[in-house]
Structure 1
Amino acid sequence: MINVLIADSQLLTREGIAFILSGMTDIHIIKQITNRVELEQMIIAYKPDVIIVDHLDTAEVKRIGARFDFAHMLVLSNKQQKSEILELIGLGIKAQVSKDCSRQELIQAVYAAAKGKQFFCESILNTLFGNKIRGKSIDDIPLLSSRETEIIHLIAEGRTNKEIAEKLFLSIHTVKTHRKNIIKKLGFTFKNTAEFASLIQSTL
């Protein structure tokens, strides 16, 4: 059973999510809350497998991620900029859907989040990749590995390849390879490496 906590200030959004997920026999809505003041209290009380929240700021993501590693966050948001989506990816958020996603996408996102897997709805993918993903299924989009996510954090801190290599006990060549793979997966060309790093840094 996947236990889900819904945190959203909008009544219709909360009720809509709960209604859609209530049709799934292996998903249980344990609580709906209206504000973030209650969020950490409810996480402690109910220990949810998945926390569905509207857009989080950087400080909240870091705080919740540090305190509650047993729960996975699914971010539900209105239209986001590419930089905002990348910011959340860099902070380790693997599941993101927009509020105009389909019923099936929401359900798939919950299942993916519960397993700690990455999931983006079509709207988020279009914002990230544009026409590059047309004709592909969501499963065709490469996922970031845990090492790649770790390196994104260090890039965002302004670390050089040498500093990243020393911190992670890797060779500089290995770090460069990881950076190229990250850029390729997120739809950036190699010539935009500096732009990518500065974009992530500017959103933190």
Structure 2
Amino acid sequence: MTNTILIIADNQPLTAFALRTWAKESELFNSIIESSDKQTLKESLNNLFDEDVLLIIDIELFDFSDKDELLAFFQTHNQLRKLFIGDHFNEEELSLIAEDMQSNIVLKNVELEELKIAISFSLKGRYYIQSELLNLLMRKNSTQVKTGYEEVHLTPTEKDIVSLIASGKTTKEVAVIRSLSYHTVVTHRKNIFRKLGISSIHALTIYAIKAGLIDPTEYYI
């Protein structure tokens, strides 16, 4: 069992019970806390400010008044690892969670094995978006990411770094794989984002899929 604390923020008894039961059996967490409303969630996070926490939350069941309040709430805990779950997500919600907040997200009807992967990625600080939601995000952003790939001149090294980052590798991991310094990879990453006119890893992933640099059937964001 690790020293990670799991917070389940979902007031649907069946979902909360299923997550709690699985979490206990997995032995990935040393304690499990349940929050049924925004106030108890806020109190839990404030009390665990210095702890290692994974939050699994269905924001539709909480009383956030609007997008700004939601963003402000989580900006207070910007180091918190989060996995958003829900019965469905519209384009605005998906964009907010995946792009603005750069958080992990799955539907509640996800298969157990995929949920395990999503939780594992979340614990490792890596990005994960369920493929069904990734496809929706790609359609939404089809006009926002440059489509004239022949006009975007990435070097072979930059293309390799794009594929590695989009496949979930951290900057440190890319540096080791490519035998480059950490700061060199950071510079490459900045140049890639500038050339593509993007500002997030999610947008980079969409570009990588559309440009054929990674295979979406083998990829977890």
| Superposition TM-score, scaled by structure 2 size | 0.58
Q: How does 1:99-178 map to 2 (within 5 A)?
A: 99-129=108-138, 142=166, 175-178=194-197
Percent identity of paired positions between Structure 1 and Structure 2: 16
Alignment counterpart, residue 39 of structure 2, candidates 37, 40, 43: 37
Gaps of 5+ in 2: 61-65, 140-162, 171-189, 212-221
Distance 1:43 1:88 in 2: 19
Q: CA deviation at 1:65?
A: 2.8
Asked if 2 retains the 8 angstrom alpha-carbon contact of 1:144 and 1:185, the reply is no
Change (3 A) 1:127 1:140: farther
Distance 2:59 2:195 in 1: 32
Q: Which has the larger radius of gyration?
A: 2
Q: Deviations over 1:112-165 (max 9, x none)?
A: 1122210112332343348xxxxxxxx99936899xxxxxxxxxxxxxxxxxxx
Asked if 1 retains the 8 angstrom alpha-carbon contact of 2:99 and 2:202, the reply is no
Asked if 2 retains the 8 angstrom alpha-carbon contact of 1:21 and 1:107, the reply is no
- Match of 1:23, SS state, is helix
- 1:31 partner amino acid: I
Asked if 2 retains the 8 angstrom alpha-carbon contact of 1:6 and 1:51, the reply is yes
The residue number in structure 1 matching 2:53 is: 49
Q: How does 1:165-204 map to 2 (within 5 A)?
A: 175-179=194-198, 183=203, 185-186=205-206
Gaps of 5+ in 1: 131-138, 147-170, 191-204
Q: CA deviation at 1:27?
A: 2.6
Aligned residues between the structures? 159
Distance 1:109 1:59 in 2: 26
Q: CA deviation at 1:74?
A: 0.9
Q: CA deviation at 1:173?
A: 9.1
Distance 1:174 1:119 in 2: 20
The residue number in structure 1 matching 2:11 is: 9
Q: CA deviation at 1:109?
A: 1.6
Distance 2:193 2:52 in 1: 37
The residue number in structure 2 matching 1:167 is: none
- Match of 1:179, SS state, is coil
- 2:88 partner amino acid: K
| Superposition TM-score, scaled by structure 1 size | 0.62
Change (3 A) 1:79 1:184: same
Mapped pair 1:76 → 2:81: no
Change (3 A) 1:5 1:120: same
Asked if 1 retains the 8 angstrom alpha-carbon contact of 2:5 and 2:33, the reply is no
Distance 1:173 1:5 in 2: 36
